[in-house]
Structure 1
Amino acid sequence: MSDDKDAVDAITAQWFAVRPDLETAPMAVFGRIYRIARAMGDAMEQCYARFGISRGEFDVVATLRRSGEPYTLSPRQLSATLMLTTGGMTGRLDKLEKAGLLCRKPDPHDRRGLQVTITERGLALIDEAVGAGLEVQRAALTGLTDDEVAVLTGLLRRLLAGV
């Protein structure tokens, strides 16, 4: 374990200097989670840009891919899974359809509905992009042992469940 101080340590030390009555452990945890999320979000955005898509667009195509064959969901299902408004989803679908990564067709079971399906081009792109993204994430974890990654995963799962 490293004893190196980071920017979050500096912030909590400043708070201790002016408000020694505060318990800053939560600030230390969430300050680091926030900084990690921002840094990794930027890294993933750069990674997916090589494939001509944004992180948000990756999420749409990846959701279709991991849904399994026939790689088809309704816009409503996609919106719910990705926690997006229908307007936000429509913009992403428009761009991805224009790029040839997915197509929208009428739902044969609901005259008013649509189905979104990944195209062969989208399938090839997402399979390559997800591998590249995992490499970026794996590289970020190189400072941890496999056991530490397992412990961190469990701790973050418990933290997320509590929030």
Structure 2
Amino acid sequence: MNSEKDSIDEVQRQWTRILPALDTSPMVITGRIRYLAQAIQAGSDEVLARQGLTRADFDILSVLVRSGRALSPTEITVQSLISAPGTTKRIKKLESDGLVNRILNPSDKRGYLIEPTNHALEIFQPVVESISDYERTLLGKLEPRDVIQLTESLRAFVSAVRESKAESD
């Protein structure tokens, strides 16, 4: 595993020089997480673009395909963590692209549900496989034991962040 210094170490060194009493140890972890999130998303966005989809398309379609049923726009908003106006805008685009259908909500005649079209279902599996291949390639650069350790560490960190968020709400 590569243990060379990186740009995050340089940022930490600079902060330590300016504010020597500041504990900068958290930033080496959170800075790397932010860097990884941006880099991985940019790479997967390129994969999606080659498939003719945007991140927004993929996020909505993922929620719909995973759920296995038609969803209300509110359910899509909650599950995708997108704002309600953002969800509405994305649904309209997906509908005009022939990837989703609006159907009348049988339990609320004023509302509607969103379902993926057959075309969306046909193209979705290869898209997910492409994203998975991209991510597998990235993780393939690590030793298997490091992937296991990273998985466990990130799970614990996600849990701690959720707990901290719940305490502050």
Which TM class, normalised by the smaller chain length?
over 0.9
Which of 141, 145, 149 matches 1:147? 145
Counterparts of 1:149 and 1:33, CA distance in 2:
15
SS at match of 2:41: helix
Paired letter, 2:130: A
TM-score in terms of structure 2 length: 0.90
Give 1:156's aligned residue.
Answer: 154
Mapping 1:124-139, distance limit 5 Å: 124-139=122-137
Superposition deviation, residue 20 in structure 1? 2.3
1:69-148 → structure 2 map (5 Å cutoff): 71-148=69-146
Report the Cα distance in structure 1 between the residues aligned to 2:88 and 2:18, rounded to whole angstroms: 49
Q: Counterparts of 1:112 and 1:34 in 2: how far apart (Å)?
A: 42
- Show the counterpart of 1:31: 31
- The runs of 5 or more residues in structure 1 that have no matched partner are none
- State the Cα RMSD in Å: 1.2
Q: Kindly, what percent of the aligned residue pairs are identical?
A: 34
For structure 2, the residue ranges without an aligned partner over 5 or more in a row are 162-169
Q: 1 or 2, which has the higher strand percentage?
A: 1
Match of 1:50 in 2: 50
**Superposition deviation, residue 11 in structure 1:** 0.8
Dislocated runs of 4+, deviation >3 Å: none
In the TM superposition, what is the alpha-carbon distance from 1:19 to its structure 2 partner? 2.3
Deviation by residue 1:25-68 (Cα, 9 ceiling, x = unmatched): 10000100000111111111111112221112101101111112
Residues 78-102 of structure 1: per-residue CA shift (max 9 Å, x gap): 0110122221101100111111111
In the alignment of these two chains, the number of paired residues is: 161
More helix by share: 2
Residue correspondence of structure 1 range 2-41 to structure 2 within 5 A: 2-41=2-41
Q: Quote the Cα distance in structure 2 between the aligned partners of 1:44 and 1:3.
A: 25
128-137 vs 1-10, greater mean Cα deviation: 1-10
SS at match of 1:8: helix
Task: Provide the C-alpha distance between the structure 1 equivalents of 2:22 and 2:2, rounded to a whole number of angstroms.
Answer: 25
1:62 is paired with a residue whose SS is helix
Equivalent-residue separation in structure 1 for 2:56 and 2:153 (angstroms): 26
State the Cα distance separating 1:2 from its structure 2 match.
Answer: 2.3
Q: CA deviation at 1:3?
A: 2.6
